[in-house]
Structure 1
């Protein structure tokens, strides 16, 4: 929240401001209670925070009777107006705090650049909102750990944007592994698309009219505006590839296949690896400065190995079982056991034998939580008071794995993770990098 403005003062101020612009008279479902007491005729009301590339999900809340999108928000005027018009939403806000202050909104869907995810999520929880947060979870490990406040202190429903958990074939593939059909898992291979080089900080340009660049930058360092840093007219560039706002594809795309790993690891009570060796490349010139390629070898406490890399490195590997079949997958999680392997990707599910793959029809008694539509599963969790399929605790664990890889590349050190202290070990520099300085007046 902002220094110098108390939570009570912020809410009172924002609510008064909201009343002046005419919020719709919709009774929020939260007023009527949860745990099954909400009548089907009372929809969960949602505010969309961020109208960029992933914001198309906002319209899904208007496709079912359980929910209603009431407001959109973006610091780019034409984006929020276009989204509001597309989904017939009555209100388009510039400032997310106006959305959080609304008493007629139950939940928010956060689709901002990565550096805003946890700060907004924490403010949403303090304002009494449930939330769906797009991946990756955070900008640094410290933010990931701070996010626990959302559920532990405020008891809010949190759904992580790893929608692959709502894909039936992925769930069934992991259930094959959990039911022992490949024997004990010895190692897991994970990959996703790598990063990008280039980008230019010049020419410095005037901030376009209708773009609140100050608010977009928020807690990140203020830098001169240029198209490659933040393009309000097109797809994000530095939003993914500039370290001020993201750790790059390692976390932004890695969140998906690492989450599939974590789904299995959580079911097996394995936690996360305790040792990380990661090599990789960083750009040496240009604006972009997140990891481009990487190759991680991580070890769990029981000796199980995790190998996490970019897809280019994976396709060139001679170590990954079945890689000739699996090169078609841009992101993938491959579980290798004593008796075979199973690979899951949003693009499909493959196994070392056809007979093994067919086990998906009836893998056995050990089951994972079923979900068929990620945003609506979030709505159902709010209505029923149940745990979403992509929980905050699991998000924190998978997010830390990605950050550990980034820290290894940046420090050039082999690092450890102390699960009891929740602390990086092996490098004082890496310990400092667990946290990011936030620009005034923003704090967690």
Structure 2
């Protein structure tokens, strides 16, 4: 039986008892975490429903809308998308589930002007994540932002600053931080169950099709191309970019490292209890398809930390076979054993590779959304607070910078910034369309 099959078996066995265990872990962490946004936090009254707007509903946003609808402490009152077709489809879906028709909009600025909206969910392309977060904070909204929390390292710093300045709950959609079995596994790594842990391996494998060669053409009637670009410098519309292939273009996306690597790197950093690396190097290239993709389809990144710990990332976009017969995962290697996070749980091995136990649960967005709402009510910092989100997302940015500059980056471990490398330092930020710099909203 493969490890993947075992996960499916143990998922069924764990559902009854594991959810209770995970709930206990979540509760214990909530009691222990007394950190709040600030002493002057104007936390919502417990039980008060949060009126939520979903920004970007073509794919991930619609899934999150369903999660917020299912939460008794939230109402989805508005959906916003630059694709009018997606907006109408999402509005109909929300109405079908909640029996209330949400408002529709195309311009986030009009949504943020509304005083009756308490929180926004940012599920746009990556180049909008931090600007929308910053604009939301400035407008007095709490923010649930999808991963990665920023398109550049500088934007991540600005997002943290905005959250603190405006005293808002800002949380990244790294939902694995709320999955009970994974919480349990991370606690085992941190508690010394597998001995001294010095290394974590992360990976993501897939078999992605070519994005082809785009043709410049007129903008479709259903798309507001000006707003889709938003903060990004203006470029002509091409027919192979919207709605997904922007991931592989540097002006809008962060490649597979920022698309899926962020989840695994976040777990690795969490488990190893490290913050900023002191050295980063990257290798790989674009090998599979002759098309418009700019980001690598094969990539290996090594992060060395001053605590004498290392994280590696392997991303292969054209071969689905990954370690442990799984496309995505993290393995923590200790002096007394190994713990492997796959799917919604973990497998524990002794120091002779003998399997000791496999534990998994249901996963999903439910617990993470509940965490977000609870933090709005209580004022405490969420498990995926924007500061933690920035530290993990920064690993993606540093890996991409190392790749794009073909260099080993020497990092200031106090700030996470590259040292003595002008090209890398220039990539810390980006250029913006006139009038769209996030700093203008802070």
TM-score over 0.5 for the alignment?
Answer: yes
Tell me if structure 1 keeps the 8 A contact 2:345–2:358: no
The answer for the alignment partner of 1:117 in structure 2 is: 129
The answer for the alignment partner of 1:296 in structure 2 is: 301
Tell me if structure 1 keeps the 8 A contact 2:133–2:143: yes
The answer for the alignment partner of 1:49 in structure 2 is: 55
Change in Cα spacing, 1:130 to 1:357, as seen in structure 2 (3 Å) is farther
Give unmatched runs, 5+ long, in structure 1.
Answer: 1-32, 318-322, 362-370
CA RMSD of aligned residues (A): 2.6
How far off its partner does 1:345 sit?
Answer: 2.5
How far off its partner does 1:433 sit?
Answer: 0.9
Change in Cα spacing, 1:146 to 1:35, as seen in structure 2 (3 Å) is closer
Q: Which moved more, 1:301-310 or 1:222-231?
A: 222-231
How far off its partner does 1:273 sit?
Answer: 1.6
Tell me if structure 2 keeps the 8 A contact 1:254–1:402: yes
The answer for the alignment partner of 1:102 in structure 2 is: 114
Q: Which moved more, 1:198-207 or 1:144-153?
A: 198-207
SS in 2 for 1:395: helix
Change in Cα spacing, 1:39 to 1:336, as seen in structure 2 (3 Å) is closer
Please state if 1:282 is matched with 2:289. Answer: no
The equivalent position to 1:207 in structure 2, one of 211, 215, 219, is 219
Distance 1:315 1:92 in 2: 38
The answer for the alignment partner of 2:401 in structure 1 is: 407
How far off its partner does 1:399 sit?
Answer: 0.8
How far off its partner does 1:205 sit?
Answer: 2.0
How far off its partner does 1:127 sit?
Answer: 0.4
SS in 1 for 2:54: strand
Q: Which moved more, 1:77-86 or 1:426-435?
A: 426-435
The answer for the alignment partner of 1:134 in structure 2 is: 146
SS in 1 for 2:140: coil
- Deviation sequence 1:237-282 (CA, Å, 0-9, x none): 2x211111011111110111111112224xx3x3122101211213
Tell me if structure 2 keeps the 8 A contact 1:172–1:360: no
Tell me if structure 1 keeps the 8 A contact 2:346–2:358: no
How far off its partner does 1:404 sit?
Answer: 1.1
The equivalent position to 1:310 in structure 2, one of 292, 304, 315, is 315
Tell me if structure 1 keeps the 8 A contact 2:198–2:310: yes
Q: Which moved more, 1:120-129 or 1:287-296?
A: 287-296
How far off its partner does 1:170 sit?
Answer: 1.1
Change in Cα spacing, 1:203 to 1:80, as seen in structure 2 (3 Å) is same
The equivalent position to 1:391 in structure 2, one of 385, 410, 434, is 385
Change in Cα spacing, 1:421 to 1:260, as seen in structure 2 (3 Å) is closer
Distance 1:347 1:37 in 2: 31
The answer for the alignment partner of 1:327 in structure 2 is: 325
Q: TM-score, normalised by structure 2?
A: 0.81
The answer for the alignment partner of 1:14 in structure 2 is: none
Distance 1:417 1:118 in 2: 23
Please state if 1:173 is matched with 2:188. Answer: no
The equivalent position to 1:443 in structure 2, one of 424, 437, 440, is 437
- Deviation sequence 1:134-163 (CA, Å, 0-9, x none): 001111111111111232211110111011
Change in Cα spacing, 1:140 to 1:128, as seen in structure 2 (3 Å) is same
How far off its partner does 1:347 sit?
Answer: 4.5
Change in Cα spacing, 1:67 to 1:279, as seen in structure 2 (3 Å) is same
Query: Aligned pair count?
Result: 386
Distance 1:313 1:79 in 2: 29
